[in-house]
Amino acid sequence: MTLDKLTITPPAHPLSGKVSPPGSKSITNRALLLAGLAKGESRLTGALKSDDTLYMAEALRAMGVEVEEPDATTFLVRSSGELKAPKEPLFLGNAGTATRFLTAAVALARGRFVVDGDAHMRKRPIRPLVDALASLGVAIEAPTGCPPVTIDAVGAFKSHRVVIDAGLSSQYVSAILMAAALADAPFEIELAGAEIGARGYIDLTLAAMRAFGAKVEQPTPAVWRVEPTGYTATDFHIEPDASAATYLWGMEVLTGGSIDIGTPAADFTQPDAEAYKVIAAFPHMPAVIDGSQMQDAIPTIAVLAAFNETPVRFVGIANLRVKECDRIRALSLGLNGIRPGLADEEGDDLIVHADPALAGTCHPARIDTFADHRIAMSFALAGLKVAGIAILDPDCVGKTYPAYWDALKSLGVSFIREAA
């Protein structure tokens, strides 16, 4: 299959207008799962329809949950409250949330479940979650430490306490938290280390669980206690995606425009909304940025940093190596492809050597996106200032923001799309 490339023409005007980011991926996939685990009908509005959420919806359908899509932003979920063993492996593309959340949820169902994904997902680690479930007596196997994962579920855990290492992904904790409300007794989750990337995602999980009737306490920062309430069907509204908003904030500051995204930064509950403060400081972003609590926003900020007044070192971003691609590598390759010497990797830190004089120049560069939506969307920002930037495989934005290029067009940006 020949993939496209999309070459952006830097606009001669500031980008201004109204663009609403799509619904939050993280919240949509939590809500879909919890609605699938609740008996009755749940209406999810403001939802994201993209690869990641459609894989989750399709997996739920394969397990006997009725998922209707009455309009472009609504899912209507009707469930018996039980996930039935599917005939085929569950295919979840490269959706980390769907893959990790379902692995834990099906462990409390009955029958054989195979959780699998695409070639990228098959390289993303799931061992700590698999080990934690195995310690609860679940018959579970993932020979490579990555999907596919095979689970022979018997409807219960053998114990009600688990210790989990979330150093590689907070999604392991979210996955067990959501499953835990279905256990037959109060359940405790303890973090193996103090280290956890993006704690804000755990808060999103707790908020979604509570909206569907769960009771969770956090006696210490490293322990959660979940009551065996199960879930209650409910209507649930999903806020816009904060990670998607970072690109729009980036376009605004980079071009000196004014983009109304319909939601003030302070109203988001997702961790990436923290990025607003850093982005708003452009072109005087700080010398050191700790990305640990806003990981998905780092590609956006790193590309902006190329146009900052002073260099920026990104720390706390080691987990970016196990996302859709090795994002530290993809960012340094892409930036150095625009102008050699623009970025350096030092261990797991990324240093972007700011060069405000880049704006207005022409540097033909083919940006390898490694099929990663965030690499594609963030390097589009460089294309607003530097002529010749071509984004390879631009359709990979479909993972979380299928209308991204339309949004750019609606702001008056033109681009040429052709076979790569």
Ligand X SMILES: C=C(OP(=O)(O)O)C(=O)O
Q: Does 325 bind ligand X (CB under 6 A)?
A: no
Q: Does 295 bind ligand S3P (CB under 6 A)?
A: yes
C-beta atoms surrounding 286 within 10 Å: 14
CA distance 367 to 91: 28
Q: Does 26 bind ligand S3P (CB under 6 A)?
A: yes
Long-range contacts of 340-348 (CB under 8 A, 24+ apart): 342/306, 343/302, 343/306, 346/313, 348/317, 348/318, 348/320, 348/321
Select the residue interacting with ligand S3P from 36, 197, 257, 337 (CB under 6 A): 197
Q: Restricting to residues 249-278, which ones interact with ligand S3P according to CB under 6 A?
A: none
Burial of 219 per CB tally in 10 Å (0-12, 13-18, 19+)? exposed
Select the residue interacting with ligand X from 252, 296, 355, 368 (CB under 6 A): 296
Q: Which is nearer to ligand X, 55 or 113 (CB)?
A: 55
* The one catalytic residue among 51, 241, 296, 393: 296
Q: Which is nearer to ligand S3P, 272 or 355 (CB)?
A: 272
Q: Which is nearer to ligand X, 146 or 386 (CB)?
A: 146
Which of 404, 273, 394 has its CA nearest to residue 3?
A: 394
CA atoms lying within 13 Å on the CB side of residue 96: 25
**Alpha carbon 143 to chain centroid, angstroms:** 25
Site string for ligand X, 221-260 (x = CB under 6 A): ----------------------------------------
Which of 286, 282, 306, 284 has its CA nearest to residue 383?
A: 306
Scanning the structure block, which residue is given the tokens 């755990």? 202
Q: Which is nearer to ligand S3P, 385 or 399 (CB)?
A: 399
**Alpha carbon 26 to chain centroid, angstroms:** 6
Q: From ligand S3P, ligand X, none, which one binds at residue 95 (CB under 5 to 8 Å depending on kind)?
A: ligand X
Question: Is 235 among the residues known to form the active site?
Answer: no
Write out the two tokens for 50.
């993209």
CB of 242 to ligand X, least distance (A): 11
Q: From ligand S3P, ligand X, none, which one binds at residue 250 (CB under 5 to 8 Å depending on kind)?
A: none
CA distance 12 to 228: 58
Binding site for ligand X (CB under 6 A): 94-97, 296, 323-324, 374, 400
Binding site for ligand S3P (CB under 6 A): 26, 96-97, 169-171, 174, 197-198, 201, 295-296, 319
Give the residue ranges of the annotated binding site for 3-phosphoshikimate. 25-26, 30, 169-171, 296, 319, 323
Residues marked active site are found at 296
